[in-house]
């Protein structure tokens, strides 16, 4: 086939993809681009001269104002959460902007490090000493490499509000008391996760996302408006 014929076939395939609807909606520009790249890969495999690439404008979904959770939404979600842990996580996500996958990977040592400037010069950096401080005066500074972009070594620096620090402290004190009630010593080691599952294990992001979806449903929220 000559170059013109190949280009015409390529163009017709592109026009076809633009007319395809999935669940009543046009195919995403990124999906069209992927399918055209697959088609070009097929031609390349059989050593057929490839047509000129078609420039596809990638549409960016814009966030509508009504889809952005307000502080009232966040406070309602915290109120509807059934455990101190979930209240702390919701507040943490809302004020730091961290993803669930990053929050569940935080350790007690990360919390201590984030509050380093609030310790006295010679004061031991321990959770016990930290919990004796007034959370209303603590604005932790978190430094981490997000899981999603970890391979690029993108350092993220973020903060949470004193209100969130209160929720975190309340959860940790509750966790200690629960451990004592169950026969433990009530000690939380620095290398333990900041937030744990009901079984005392690392929380799986999918499990936490389901819990957040339940809270969203309790609020009567729409699909486009997620607290987390």
8 A C-beta contact, residue 190 and residue 108: yes
Which candidate, 71, 102, 83, places its Cα nearest to that of 215? Answer: 83
Q: Give the range of the structural domain holding residue 107, as residue numbers without chain letter.
A: 65-218
Residue 71 within any structural domain of the chain = yes
Compute CA distances 13 → 33, 35, 217, 227, whole Å.
Answer: 11, 10, 41, 40
pLDDT at 167: 97
Residue 60 within any structural domain of the chain = no
Q: What is the C-alpha end-to-end distance of the chain, expressed in Å?
A: 53
Q: Are residues 40 and 150 in the same domain?
A: no
Number of independent structural domains in the chain: 2
Q: Are residues 76 and 24 in the same domain?
A: no
Q: Are residues 119 and 185 in the same domain?
A: yes
Residue 59 within any structural domain of the chain = no
Residue 54 within any structural domain of the chain = no
pLDDT at 209: 80
- What one-character DSSP code corresponds to residue 188? -
pLDDT at 223: 46
8 A C-beta contact, residue 142 and residue 157: yes
Q: Are residues 188 and 98 in the same domain?
A: yes
Q: Are residues 168 and 90 in the same domain?
A: yes
Q: Are residues 115 and 170 in the same domain?
A: yes
Which candidate, 204, 224, 206, 228, places its Cα nearest to that of 215? Answer: 228
Instruction: State the Cα–Cα distance between residues 81 and 167, nearest whole angstrom.
Output: 12
Instruction: State the Cα–Cα distance between residues 209 and 103, nearest whole angstrom.
Output: 12
pLDDT at 221: 57
Instruction: State the Cα–Cα distance between residues 66 and 225, nearest whole angstrom.
Output: 8
Q: Are residues 26 and 124 in the same domain?
A: no
Residue 228 within any structural domain of the chain = no
Compute the Cα dihedral for 112, 69, 58, 34 and give only its sign. positive
Q: Are residues 71 and 151 in the same domain?
A: yes
Q: Are residues 101 and 28 in the same domain?
A: no
8 A C-beta contact, residue 196 and residue 175: yes
Angle at which helices 71-80 and 84-96 pack, to 10 degrees? 160
pLDDT at 224: 47
pLDDT at 95: 94
Number of Cβ within a 10 Å radius of residue 80? 17
Mean pLDDT by 10 residues, the chain (228 residues): 74 85 80 84 77 67 66 88 93 93 94 97 96 97 85 85 97 96 94 92 84 80 50
């Amino acid at each position: 086939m000559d170059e013109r014929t190949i280009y015409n076939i390529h163009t017709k395939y592109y026009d076809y993809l633009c007319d395809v609807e999935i669940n009543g909606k046009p195919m995403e520009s990124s999906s069209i681009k992927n399918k055209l790249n697959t088609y070009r890969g097929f031609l390349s495999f059989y050593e057929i001269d490839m047509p000129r690439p078609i420039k596809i404008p990638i549409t960016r979904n814009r966030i509508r104002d009504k889809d952005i959770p307000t502080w009232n939404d966040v406070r309602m979600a915290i109120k509807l959460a059934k455990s101190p842990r979930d209240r702390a996580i919701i507040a943490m996500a809302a004020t730091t902007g961290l993803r669930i996958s990053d929050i569940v990977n935080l350790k007690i040592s990360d919390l201590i490090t984030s509050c380093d400037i609030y310790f006295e010069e010679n004061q031991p950096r321990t959770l016990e000493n930290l919990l004796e401080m007034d959370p209303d005066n603590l604005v932790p500074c978190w430094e981490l490499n997000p899981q999603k972009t970890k391979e690029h070594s993108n350092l993220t620096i973020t903060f949470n509000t004193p209100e969130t620090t209160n929720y975190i402290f309340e959860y940790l004190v509750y966790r200690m008391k629960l451990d004592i009630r169950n026969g433990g010593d009530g000690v939380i080691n620095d290398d333990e996760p900041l937030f744990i599952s009901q079984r005392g294990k690392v929380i799986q992001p999918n499990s936490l996302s389901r819990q957040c979806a339940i809270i969203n449903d309790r609020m009567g929220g729409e699909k486009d408006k997620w607290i987390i």
